[in-house]
């Protein structure tokens, strides 16, 4: 049953346009389920000079394996939110048999390129401000001596990663999935330009 659910989940993701290389199995577990017995150990009761043993008492056998629980965890990476609706995907994998969707995180696919772009914009803006200050103050800018940088963060979300788990002995699931907004976050880079003055 667990294998059927896992196959159904992967098939659904592929039909939604998620590339096979962005669907990765991260764990596969087989856990035994034990049957315990509710029984009594032999009970001896002494009354005066007579000793009796309860006829209803019996030794309790050790727990035995009654079955196994299989659990598969899959990591899915989404790269194009215009084509892949996150809420629809989560709802779909739950309908396909997943009973645990967790570890959702958003991150940049290429953070270094985003930082380079924002840094270049910050430098151009700082140069324009320096020229304006020089004009207002009546002095001339000389050679650019140094560029100091501070800051970091994410410019916008390009990629979402979430974990999907399935278990063979699940009980019940919510009938709806809450809205999962992607949102955005800006990179903040501060640059300080140091010039010589003519």
* Token representation of residue 6: 């896992």
Instruction: Enumerate the domain spans of the chain.
Output: 2-33+63-197
Strand partners, 31: 69
Burial 126-152 (b: 16+ CB within 10 A, else e): ebeeeeeebeeeeeebeeeeeeeeeee
Q: Mapped to the 3 state alphabet, what secondary structure does 16-53 carry?
A: CCCCHHHEEEEEEEEEEEEECCCCCCCCEEEECCEEEE
Mean of pLDDT values over 99-125: 83
**H-helix segments, the chain:** 2-15, 86-95, 111-137
> How many residues make up the chain in this entry?
198
Residue 22: count other Cβ atoms within 10 Å of its Cβ: 17
Q: Three-state SS for 68?
A: strand
pLDDT per position as a tens digit, 77-110: 888 877 777 888 888 998 898 888 887 877 777 7
**φ and ψ at residue 134, rounded to 5 degrees:** -65, -40
Structure confidence at residue 179 (pLDDT): 63
pLDDT per position as a tens digit, 45-89: 445 555 444 445 556 778 888 888 888 889 998 888 777 778 888
Structure confidence at residue 125 (pLDDT): 92
Q: How many CA atoms lie within 13 A of 156 on its CB side?
A: 6
Decide which of 173 and 142 is more confident.
142
Structure confidence at residue 185 (pLDDT): 64
Structure confidence at residue 101 (pLDDT): 85
């Amino acid at each position: 049953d667990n294998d059927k659910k896992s196959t159904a989940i992967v098939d659904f993701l592929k039909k939604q346009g998620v590339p096979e290389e962005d669907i990765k199995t991260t764990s596969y577990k087989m856990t035994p389920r034990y049957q315990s017995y509710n029984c009594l150990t032999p009970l001896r009761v002494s009354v005066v000079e007579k000793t009796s043993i309860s006829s209803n008492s019996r030794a309790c056998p050790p727990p035995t394996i009654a079955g196994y629980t299989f659990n598969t965890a899959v990591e899915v990476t989404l790269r194009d939110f215009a084509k892949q609706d996150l809420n629809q995907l989560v709802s779909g994998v739950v309908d396909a048999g997943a009973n645990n969707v967790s570890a959702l995180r958003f991150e940049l696919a290429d953070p270094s390129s985003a930082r380079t772009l924002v840094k270049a914009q910050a430098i151009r803006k700082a140069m324009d401000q320096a020229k304006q200050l020089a004009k207002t103050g009546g002095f001339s800018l000389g050679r650019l001596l140094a560029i100091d940088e501070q800051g970091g963060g994410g410019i916008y979300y390009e990629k979402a990663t979430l974990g999907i788990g399935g278990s063979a002995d699940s009980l019940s699931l919510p009938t709806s999935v809450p809205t999962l907004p992607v949102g955005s976050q800006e990179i903040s880079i501060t640059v300080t330009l140091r010039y010589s003055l003519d």
